[in-house]
A = this chain, B = another copy of it.
Amino acid sequence: MNGRVDRLRGSLEEPLLVSAPANVRYLTGFVSSNAAVLVEPDRVRLFTDFRYAEAARAVEGVEVELLKRNLYGSLAELLSGRIGFETSGLTYASWATLTAGGAELVPRPGLVEALRAVKDESELRAIRAAAGITNRVYDALWKEQFVGRSERDVAWRIEVLFHELGAEGVSFPPVVAAGPNGAKPHADPGETPIGPGQTVVVDAGCIVDGYCSDCTRTFATEPLPDELARAYEVCLAAQEEALAAVRTGERGEDVDGVARRRIDGAGFGEAFGHGLGHGIGLLVHEAPRLAPDSGDVLATGNVVTVEPGIYVSGLGGIRIEDLVVVGDDGPEVLTSFPKELTTVH
């Protein structure tokens, strides 16, 4: 924990006010919806309100100061001198409140996020555990009946399996998207029964020790329309080619391009409208990004998803997603469920 603060200090030109909850947690272990940390050369101050007082006092290596519920109103009076702040961790309103006080605020985007992008061994342990539970959920799920059940029922079953296997919770509400609903990359599970001849996109992950997993597989009920069967083969080829390109030093943009060229070449380019993947850790979306406009370069210890998708409006969707640790010699793939098209009944 102190190692993290020390590494952060190495990149600071002035004290940094850390506001994003995941960054506060990363530096101090403290979990709260209303907290901020001021990292100075010789001390770390943790600000929160009464509701979190007992938990804050248990945090080692910080000086705890209880403020009013509106932390930034209190901090505006408390802070002075040059103070760096997190541009994505503060609302405009909080920034304006702080600015009215005595401190000179300096925007310092992404400093803790850059540290968080490279996972240490304890973080990798948690992510591998979360991925392992997720693998077991998929192993159990595909043997169950799909046709006739609602997406919502299957999504709840996934939540139950995660709980039974010891996850702290889900890393996001499970996506179960059958037939035309699968053409929405971020579909909400509905009440319509899953029918024959459909793809069923299942995107789910869980949390262990605060760290997220993420996995997508697309199942099929028979008989699958030819266009979706072909799209599946294209998506799978794109996924495997991109996966093979994941390696320390590669650019996120280039890895995305590997999958995108394959999907474009098969005539599905318009149907792959999102990025190839994202980093994952305390948050389910964090640095680095694999996308056409990503400026990120992959580093050893990044944990990213590789998840091309093909979405055919009115018909169905396909997405295949692995979770991987980036290494010098290629990826360590944490997702074990087979990627060949699996038929469910």
A101-112 contact mask (Cβ, 8 Å, vs B): 1 or 0: 000000101000
Binds B, one of A45-53, A137-145, A217-225, A227-235: A45-53
Measured CA separation A315–B199 after assembly (Å): 54
Which B-chain residue is minimally distant from A169 (CB atoms)? Answer: B173
Binds B, one of A75-83, A91-99, A237-245, A260-268: A91-99
Q: With A293-B68, A313-B54 in contact, is A31–B188 under 8 Å at CB?
A: yes
CB contacts under 8 Å to B, within A291-321, are 291, 293, 313
Cβ A91 vs Cβ B93 within 8 A: no
Neighbouring B residues of A185 by C-beta, 8 Å? 50-52
Cβ A186 vs Cβ B96 within 8 A: no
Which B-chain residue is minimally distant from A289 (CB atoms)? Answer: B69
Cβ A88 vs Cβ B91 within 8 A: yes
Neighbouring B residues of A95 by C-beta, 8 Å? 92, 95
Q: Does A16 have its Cβ within 8 Å of any Cβ on chain B?
A: no
Q: Does A8 have its Cβ within 8 Å of any Cβ on chain B?
A: no
Cβ B54 vs Cβ A183 within 8 A: yes
Partner of A91, one of B51, B90, B160, B291: B90
Neighbouring B residues of A85 by C-beta, 8 Å? 92
Q: Does A273 have its Cβ within 8 Å of any Cβ on chain B?
A: yes
Partner of A93, one of B87, B159, B186: B87
Cβ B88 vs Cβ A54 within 8 A: no
Neighbouring B residues of A96 by C-beta, 8 Å? 87, 107
A-side interface residues, number (CB < 8 Å): 43
Neighbouring B residues of A187 by C-beta, 8 Å? 55
Partner of A53, one of B51, B53, B159, B273: B273
Cβ A109 vs Cβ B93 within 8 A: yes
Q: Does A274 have its Cβ within 8 Å of any Cβ on chain B?
A: yes
A158-187 contact mask (Cβ, 8 Å, vs B): 1 or 0: 011001000001000100000000011111
Nearest 4 Cβ contacts at the A-B interface: A50-B273, A87-B93, A51-B185, A92-B95
CB-defined A-B contacts under 8 Å, sample of 18 = A32-B186, A50-B185, A52-B184, A52-B186, A53-B184, A53-B273, A54-B183, A55-B186, A55-B187, A69-B291, A85-B92, A87-B91, A89-B91, A90-B91, A91-B92, A96-B107, A156-B163, A159-B159
Other than the given A51-B274, A53-B273, 11 more pairs (CB < 8 A) read A31-B188, A51-B186, A52-B184, A54-B313, A69-B275, A85-B92, A87-B91, A90-B92, A92-B95, A96-B107, A159-B159
